[in-house]
Amino acid sequence: MKRKVEILVLSDLHLGSYGCRAEELLSYLRSVSPGTVILNGDIIDIWAFNKKYFPKPHMRVVKKLLKWSAKVPVYYITGNHDEALRRYSPARLGDLRLMDQLSLTIDGKRHWFLHGDIFDATMKSAKWLAKLGGFGYDLLIRINHLVNRTLAFFGRPRMSFSRRVKNSVKSAVNFISDFEQTMADIALHDGYEAVVCGHIHQPRIGTVDTPKGSIVYLNSGDWIENLSALEYNEGRWSLYLHEAWAEHVPSERMVRKGAVEAA
């Protein structure tokens, strides 16, 4: 039986790229029945798009999302990898709504949904560098997949090259911290009580403190390395993690039945 989810947030699927874990994503999508779906950017990877590469599982994900849009509201928020869609935003096709950002009041609290790339200094000042980094990231993920297949053959646990880089390189750690701080500052300034992002592929539920106060910060992660999604039910946000990657969750979060919840 499908599990009901009041609000489902997905981001950074990167459909059309070699790194997308579409089969695992399909398995998850088929297990839930959402009331509202928010696609928070980088759903289709137009940067990496190659007409020779769009496997059947990727197309099945697209069909599943379109099928949902015929039954429940589906918001497609543009990101940097699908920024070409911004020229058509805002637009609406039935219950599928294309937009650059979304404001929703949930249980009396103002939530701001956006991908987050527009506040990324790299994206604003050197887009060519960001695209180069995107291609390098995709190559790293492809190499990582080959390594993980070998590890699986020998019964060894998977490993994530990109996660190790992010956790060990000081500039990467600082970038993530700066991104979260920027999102919090701007959201608070605009009167929001929670900000929901994607972009940096770092799933998280937590609180960010600023000189002007604190705000709830949520990031839905991605479906390349973390295989994660945000779910809202009965007044509470939780972070879903696919069982293949649940062991990588930071220890300060609570893992239960494939989900991570704010402690």
In this structure, what DSSP letter does residue 191 have? T
Question: In this predicted structure, which of 28-32, 138-142, 207-211 has the lowest mean pLDDT?
Answer: 138-142
Phi/psi at 179 (nearest 5 deg)? Answer: -60, -50
Pairs from 253-259 (Cβ < 8 Å, separation ≥ 24): 253/205, 259/231
Q: List, edge to edge, every strand of the sheet that includes 74-77.
A: 91-93, 96-99, 74-77, 32-40, 3-10, 228-233, 236-241, 259-261, 254-256
At 205 the pLDDT is 97
| Average pLDDT for 20-45 | 95
Q: Report the alpha-carbon distance of residue 63 to residue 198 in Å, rounded.
A: 22
Q: In whole angstroms, what is the distance from residue 204 CA to residue 228 CA?
A: 10
Q: Where are the domains of the chain?
A: 3-261
> Residue 74: is its pLDDT beyond 80?
yes
The pLDDT score that the predictor gives to residue 259 is 45
- Give the pLDDT confidence score for residue 54 in this predicted structure: 87
Predicted pLDDT of residue 209: 92
When pLDDT is cut at 50, 70 and 90, the band that residue 198 belongs to is very high
Tell me the average pLDDT of the chain. 81
**Amino acid in position 171:** S
Domain 3-261, classified CATH 3.30.420.40, yes or no: no
Angle ∠(207,211,212) on CA atoms, nearest 5? 80
Give the containing element (helix H, strand E) for 130.
helix 127-153
Residue 137 has pLDDT above 80, yes or no: no
Residue 111's DSSP bridge partners are: 104, 194
Comparing 140 with 243, the larger pLDDT belongs to: 243
| pLDDT value at 256 more than 60 | no
pLDDT tens digits for range 94-107: 889 999 999 999 99
Q: What local confidence, expressed as pLDDT, does residue 8 receive?
A: 98
